[in-house]
Every structure is written in C-alpha cells, then in structure tokens.
Chains A and B, each alone.
Chain A
C-alpha cells in the first residue's frame, strides 16, 4: 500500500498531462495499457481552438 501511495504521489506531481485520475488508477492497479481518450481534456482543447478564429483556421490547414 505504501508503495502505491508513493508512486501515485510522484506521478501526480509530474507534468500536467499526468495529473489526472486515470494515471493514478493505472498505477494503483498496475494496468499496463488502456486504450483511453481523455474526453475532458479533448473537449477543453476543442473549445480552445473554437474560441479563436485564427486557431480554427490554422488547424484546418
């Protein structure tokens, strides 16, 4: 248990891409790989692009 806690803490302190529940769960349950799309993050990204016509136009190129 101590080992799991230590690993989780380390990972969530890393870059923001790792700072989500999925990574913590993967470590806690030793999941090797899940084909998972972070919908929350993807929605934020889409909203960011749609907010600004310049970003939208450049993404379409």
Chain B
C-alpha cells in the first residue's frame, strides 16, 4: 500500500478536485482507495455526494471523544471517504495550536497504514500551516505538489526546492496561454520531479464539484478525466512500490 499526500503550492490550485478525481480513477483500475481530508475547509466530501449539513469527520469525532472510524463513508465497494468534519470558527482558530489533534491524526494514519486495508490512501493536505503539515508529510510515502503554471506558483517553486520525494503536478494548463506554456517549458527543464502528465484547463473539473461527483464519474470522456486516468496509471507504475 501507499500513502500519497496531495498539497497545493498555494491555495486554489485544484488539489481537492484532483484528490477526488484520482481516487475515482484508481478505483476504476480496481484498486482499493481511502481518501482522507486533512483540511479544515472540509470540502473533499462534497465530491462524494455527502450532504453539506452532515458534520461527521475525524477531527469532529476527536474533539467530541467519539470513534473517528465511524465518521467514514463508503462511496463504492472500493472507495471510502474520511471527511475532516465540521468545526466552528473558534475551533478552527485553535486548531493549529492544538497539537493533541495533530498528534491524533498522525495516530490515525498509522492505524490505517498498519491495517493494510487499502492499497491507496490519498490525503488532501491543507496548503497553509507548514508547522502542522510538515509532521503529517512525514507519514506520507510520497507527496504530490499541485501547481498552476503561473507567476505566483513559479515564484514559490523557485524559493522552495522540492524534496526528492515530492512530485510536481501541473494543473490548469491553458493551451492558448503563451505565459503558461513558457512557464511549463521552464519547469520541464528545471523541476527534476515534474510528473510527465499535465492537466489541461477543463470546465468539467469545475462542474464535477457542482455535480457533487468525482470528475471521472461525472464526465469520464473529458480530456482532463483521461489525463487523470493517465496519472492513476503513472501512480501504479511509480508510487506503488511499497505495497506488500
């Protein structure tokens, strides 16, 4: 099995949409998958048709002294979702100073890893608070950083050298944009760990959230859905080496 963390280089790069889409693609390839939301935005669940007013999730359960395992949902026989859970604004504010909650999450990941129940665990990591996510990142077998080929992400990538365990995934590439294509070309030459499949800008990705379905289920023939399937196959070849 492999635990893959997905994290945006900055907010708004489409990491949550990609996590949901990749999970769907992997289960289409007959792999068992658990997707875990590590972001207090609690958005990942919405791609799996969970009612917006349901508050269950691992963080909510932990704060309420409930069993976190009971907050998971089954979407298909081989695809489960563990939401973050709904927290109040004050709970969110104290979240990053609440090391007990962060430590609990590390415990949960260890339990999941030891259970060997899933071939893939995909964790949607928040972009902010590196103090928290650094500890979580250590639990990941691999980390995929998601970036848009724009000036903002380019500056961030130039300032932070990606670890050799971190892969770079390009999302939202617009064929007609000279700037994006120039930046993408520069990344292909300078970023050693760039994943050799880029996701093109596609309305189907945005629509999938509005339809509350993962991309591949909502629009399996969209170009970007085929690109996600290519990524899933790339993951099988390159990231599944730690499976027992």
Choice from B151, B154, B158, B185 contacting A44 with Cβ under 8 Å: B185
For residue A52, CB closer than 8 A to chain B, the reply is yes
Knowing A48-B182, A52-B182, say if A58 contacts B158 (CB, 8 Å).
yes
Q: Chain A 1-30 against B: per-residue CB contact (8 Å), 1 yes, 0 no?
A: 000000000000001110000000000000
Bound Cα distance from A2 to B241, whole angstroms: 34
Bound Cα distance from A15 to B196, whole angstroms: 7
Please give, as numbers and ranges, the residues of chain B lying within 8 Å of A54 by CB-CB distance: 151, 154-155
Q: Are A58 and B185 in contact (CB under 8 A)?
A: no
**Contacts across chains A and B counted by CB atoms under 8 Å:** 30
Bound Cα distance from A60 to B189, whole angstroms: 15
Binding site for B on A (CB under 8 A): 15-17, 44-45, 48-49, 51-52, 54-55, 58, 61
Known: A55-B154, A58-B154. 19 other contacts (CB 8 A): A44-B185, A45-B185, A45-B186, A45-B189, A48-B181, A48-B182, A48-B183, A48-B186, A49-B182, A49-B186, A51-B178, A51-B182, A52-B151, A52-B182, A54-B151, A55-B183, A58-B155, A58-B158, A61-B158
